[in-house]
Amino acid sequence: MDLGLNGKRAIVSGASRGIGKECALLLAAEGARVCVTARDEALLAQTVQEIEAAGGEAVYVVADLTSDTGCTDVVEACVAKLGGVDVLVNAAGAARGGDILGLSADVISEALELKSFGYLRMAQAVIPHMQKNSWGRIVNIAGAAGASPARGNIPTSVANAAVYNITRALSDAVAGDGVLVNVINPGMTNTQRARDLLQAQADKDGRDVEDILKERGAKLPSGRICEPEEVARVVCFFSSEACSFVFGSSVYMDGGARRATP
C-alpha cells in the first residue's frame, strides 16, 4: 500500500533516540522530508546522518520545547528549509518517577511542561501551515500510563492523560480543515530510556536489565514488550494519506495489558 508520504514535510520531536528517532527514520524511508528536533545536537546529527546514508532527506533543529520560542523556532526552521510542514509527530518528553506519598508537585509540573504543554505548543505552531493546504497530520506519542496510574508513575500518568484530552480537543478544532490529530499510547517499549529507568532496580537485585525487561514482557498477553519500530509503523500510517478517516482516536500499543473498555 502506498502511504502517500513521498515528499511530505514532517517534524519529529524527541528524535534524538528511542521512539522519536525510529519514527524519523521510518518516515524518511517512506519518502518524507524530515526535520528532527531535540536538545542533544550530537544525537540529532547522528539521526540525520543515518537518514541521509539511507538515501533520505533530513535537517535538524536543536530546541527546548518547554518554551513558546523553542517551538516556533522549530516550525519556522522547518518551513524555511523544507518549504512547509505537513506532518507533526510529538514524541519529546520523559517524566521522572517517584512514589505518590513523597512526590513533589514540581515533578508533575515538569512533566506537564515538556510533554503536555510542549505538544500543545508545537501543534498550535504547525496548524496554520496545515490549514493553508487543507491537509495535515498530527500524531502524539503519549503512553499507556495515562489510563493506568500507579503510585510510582503519577508524573507520567498525569502528563499522558493531558495529552489524551489535548488530542481530542485539537481534533475537534481542525478536523474540518483536513487535519487529523490522533494519539498512540505505547506500554513498556524496548528503548534506552526503559533500560535507564530499570537500572537502579537491576543494580539493587543484582540482575541484568535485559532479564527484567523479558520478565515484564512475559507477564503481558503478548508475551513481550513493544519494539520502537512497531510504534513507528503505526505513526507512519497515522501520518499518511492512507489514514483519511481517523479523528481524535487513541490507540494502545501495550501488548494487551489494557483491560478496560476504550
Separation CA 187–CA 202 (nearest Å): 20
Same domain, 100 and 171: yes
Q: With a cut of 60, say whether residue 262 has pLDDT above it.
A: no
Same domain, 221 and 232: no
Same domain, 110 and 48: yes
Same domain, 123 and 142: yes
Which 8-state DSSP code applies to residue 67?
Answer: S
Which domain, by its residues, includes 196?
190-225
Separation CA 17–CA 24 (nearest Å): 10
| The residue type at 8 | K
Same domain, 124 and 41: yes
Domain count of the fold of the chain: 2
Same domain, 89 and 206: no
Same domain, 133 and 163: yes
- Residue 108 included in any domain: yes
Model's pTM, two decimal places?
A: 0.94
Same domain, 168 and 245: yes
8 A C-beta contact, residue 32 and residue 238:
no
What was the pLDDT predicted at 193? 84
C-alpha cell at 200: 537502579
Same domain, 130 and 239: yes
Separation CA 101–CA 224 (nearest Å): 31
Same domain, 54 and 14: yes
8 A C-beta contact, residue 112 and residue 158:
yes
Q: Give per-residue pLDDT as tens, 189-246.
A: 998 888 887 887 778 788 888 888 899 999 999 999 999 999 999 999 999 999 999 9
Separation CA 223–CA 53 (nearest Å): 35
What integer is the mean pLDDT of 182-194? 91
Same domain, 195 and 108: no
Q: Give per-residue pLDDT as tens, 89-122.
A: 999 977 777 888 988 899 889 989 989 999 999 9
Same domain, 114 and 30: yes
